[in-house]
């Protein structure tokens, strides 16, 4: 019996209308819209559909009694609320959340090693740092230690971006200008008009710098001390990320997130940290003008220094991939996620690092992951983190079972365990070499598990803070999420999404659903795209749109 986190199938047969993912499953996935009364040939018998089934949704392959387990990906993903007849659609009304229980580790480290012949000896062009890390980009970051400094960060942003050529042209300004002109001239037309095509500027001043990223947040003071500690650890991770060349930190002075805490976190993370870093405290500098003039001058001096670094070849093992999904649909766990999982396995086999995040979306597959841990210590750490997180959610009247969003449910993911079973496919089949709590940094080659919420931006923010220099983001519904320092590659689970939202999607994995490509082929195609993005040859759609989302996780309950 194949591992339920392994590839679903090498190839989905062309024009196939349904899919049984695992031999133990008692539900089928509709790969296309199916009509009420339609007869579907399945294995050695014919199914008579009792109602229409939308593509991405599931229906029973045999009669299910109340209390029966719903099986998908070879594991429990729900429980029947009532009798469900063969051919009946699964919904939130007839199925409730249920997941497998988990316990001690039973080693299972025999995942198949992928063919890496197409990537052995390959390189990407990256920015080499003195600590041995290699960046896929070269950014300067400006970050406040407390929300009180957000306005000053905004003033610096306005001062720098346009003057250095990093400002993004805003075609919508012309649109508003035209509307104003019509209004002032008493033109009552309501017709629309084409937006102008505008190109993103490259920096004419600093050719080797990809941009200055001005990050703001609402933390640093007023919450629990644990949140301020975590914020400082996260900021330290951003400064240490190989895509960051240097940074400017603004502090007010009286907040919980004190400068010494940040310095301690950074020193613990990298005792030999030597990037240019300027930390200023407003209550010591004097007037706001004194603070800003000094911060701008020091930042400009830093930019002149890091502009000397150029891209040079680096082995693929220097890549650290963050693995993320958001706006998932019923095809995500069949196409995009397994393709990402294959790319992850390839990179791990080459000696690189990958990180699978979103712990609420690992509910129900815990035992499989525990068994893949390389030792009991990291397996136990994963168990403690999962149980602590789950119990905290229950304590405030929530729970992992509330994780699926309305969009998830509408497009076929009706329980958290069902969503999680597909989400975990992003981790492929590689052994798990480390488990990281929030804001811990990935240092061990191989597949790492990183404790984050399922919230897209909180999770991608954490992945970059733990060292990801590229993030792979799968989606079935489409989401405008990006990250300030780590290029985010969006992979669609279906071709309709890629065609409907081409401004958001980088890679279309819909060919897996139609049977035109295998999961392995899609994974290798994704690897080629990763290399081009890492080398600066391709800007991701998120980069082109300037999607620089940054939300630190306050350790309260966020799913």
Residues 512-554: pLDDT tens digits?
999 999 999 999 999 999 999 999 999 999 999 999 999 999 8
Structure tokens at 108: 């299972």
CB neighbours of residue 52 within 10 Å: 14
Enclosing H/E stretch for 300: helix 288-306
Rg of the chain over Cα atoms, rounded to whole angstroms, equals 25
Q: Give the per-residue pLDDT at 411.
A: 82
Q: Is the pLDDT of residue 133 over 90?
A: yes
503 compared with 198, residue with greater pLDDT: 503
- Give CA separation, 239 vs 139, 142, 266, in Å: 10, 10, 8
CA nearest neighbour of 354 among 487, 457, 458, 463: 463
CB neighbours of residue 529 within 10 Å: 19
pLDDT digits (tens, 9 = 90+) for 375-406: 999 999 999 999 999 888 888 887 787 778 88
Q: Give the per-residue pLDDT at 339.
A: 98
Mean pLDDT across the chain: 92
pTM of the model: 0.93
User: With bands split at pLDDT 50, 70 and 90, how would you rate the model's confidence at 558?
Assistant: low
Distance CA 549, CA 552 (A): 10
CB neighbours of residue 361 within 10 Å: 29
Task: Find the mean pLDDT for residues 409-420.
Answer: 88
Q: Give the per-residue pLDDT at 394.
A: 85
User: 57 phi and psi, to 5 degrees?
Assistant: -90, 170
CB neighbours of residue 10 within 10 Å: 9
User: With bands split at pLDDT 50, 70 and 90, how would you rate the model's confidence at 197?
Assistant: low
Distance CA 69, CA 103 (A): 19
Greatest mean pLDDT among 4-13, 383-392, 480-489 lies in: 480-489
Supply the DSSP symbol for 352. -
The mean-pLDDT minimum among 189-198, 339-348, 464-473, 506-515 falls in 189-198
The mean-pLDDT minimum among 27-36, 356-365, 392-401 falls in 392-401
Q: Give the per-residue pLDDT at 223.
A: 82
Q: Residue 412 in contact with residue 423, Cβ under 8 Å?
A: no
Q: Is the pLDDT of residue 557 over 70?
A: no
Q: Give the per-residue pLDDT at 12.
A: 46
User: With bands split at pLDDT 50, 70 and 90, how would you rate the model's confidence at 269?
Assistant: very high
Largest CA distance in the chain: 81
Q: Phi/psi zone of residue 411: left (φ > 0), alpha (ψ -120 to 50 degrees), beta?
A: alpha
Q: Give the per-residue pLDDT at 4.
A: 46
Q: Give the per-residue pLDDT at 170.
A: 80
Q: Residue 386 in contact with residue 328, Cβ under 8 Å?
A: no
């Amino acid at each position: 019996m194949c591992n339920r986190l392994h590839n679903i199938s090498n190839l989905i047969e062309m024009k196939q209308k349904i899919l049984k993912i695992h031999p133990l499953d008692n539900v089928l996935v509709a790969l296309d819209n199916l009509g009420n009364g339609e007869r579907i040939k399945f294995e050695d018998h014919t199914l008579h559909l009792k109602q229409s089934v939308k593509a991405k949704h599931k229906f029973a392959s045999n009669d299910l009694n109340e209390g029966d387990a719903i099986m998908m990906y070879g594991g429990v993903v729900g429980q029947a609320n009532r009798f469900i007849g063969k051919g009946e659609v699964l919904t939130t009304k007839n199925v409730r959340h249920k997941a497998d229980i988990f316990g001690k580790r039973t080693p299972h480290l025999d995942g198949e090693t992928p063919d890496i012949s197409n990537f052995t000896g390959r390189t990407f062009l990256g920015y080499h740092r003195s600590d041995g890390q290699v960046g896929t980009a070269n950014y300067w970051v400006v970050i406040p230690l407390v929300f009180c400094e957000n306005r000053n960060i905004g003033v610096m942003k306005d001062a720098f971006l346009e003057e250095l050529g990093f400002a993004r042209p805003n075609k919508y300004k012309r649109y508003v200008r035209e509307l104003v002109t019509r209004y002032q001239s008493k033109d009552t037309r309501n017709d629309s008009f084409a937006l102008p095509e505008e190109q993103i500027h490259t920096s004419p001043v600093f050719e080797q710098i990809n941009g200055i990223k001005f990050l703001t947040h609402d933390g640093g003071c007023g919450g629990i001390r644990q949140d301020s500690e975590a914020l400082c650890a996260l900021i330290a991770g951003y400064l240490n990320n190989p895509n960051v060349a240097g940074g400017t930190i603004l502090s007010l002075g009286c907040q919980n997130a004190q400068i010494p805490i940040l310095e301690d976190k950074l020193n613990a993370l990298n005792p030999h940290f030597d990037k240019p870093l300027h930390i200023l405290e407003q209550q010591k500098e004097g007037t706001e003008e004194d603070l800003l003039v000094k911060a701008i001058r020091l930042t400009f001096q830093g930019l002149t220094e890091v502009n000397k670094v150029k891209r040079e070849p680096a082995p693929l093992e220097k890549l650290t991939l963050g693995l993320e999904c958001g706006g998932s649909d019923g095809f995500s766990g069949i196409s995009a996620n397994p393709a990402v999982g294959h790319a992850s396995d390839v990179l791990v086999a080459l000696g690189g690092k990958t990180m699978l995040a979103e712990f609420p979306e690992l509910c129900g597959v815990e035992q499989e992951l525990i068994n893949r841990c390389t030792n009991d210590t990291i397996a136990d750490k994963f168990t403690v983190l999962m149980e602590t997180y789950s119990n905290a959610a229950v304590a405030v009247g929530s729970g992992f079972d509330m994780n699926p969003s309305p969009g998830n449910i509408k497009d076929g993911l009706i329980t958290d365990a069902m969503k999680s079973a597909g989400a975990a496919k992003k981790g492929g089949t590689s052994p798990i070499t480390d488990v990281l709590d929030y804001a811990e940094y990935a240092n061990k080659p191989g597949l790492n598990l990183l404790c984050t919420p399922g919230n897209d931006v909180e999770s991608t923010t954490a992945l970059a803070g733990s060292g990801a220099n590229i993030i792979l983001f799968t989606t079935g519904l489409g989401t405008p999420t990006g990250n300030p320092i780590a290029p985010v590659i969006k992979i669609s689970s279906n071709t309709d999404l890629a065609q409907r939202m081409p401004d958001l999607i980088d890679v279309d994995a819909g060919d897996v659903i139609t049977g035109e490509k295998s999961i392995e082929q899609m994974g290798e195609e994704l690897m080629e795209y990763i290399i081009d993005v890492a080398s600066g040859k391709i800007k991701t759609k998120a980069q082109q749109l300037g999607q620089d989302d940054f939300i630190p996780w306050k350790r309260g309950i966020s799913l």
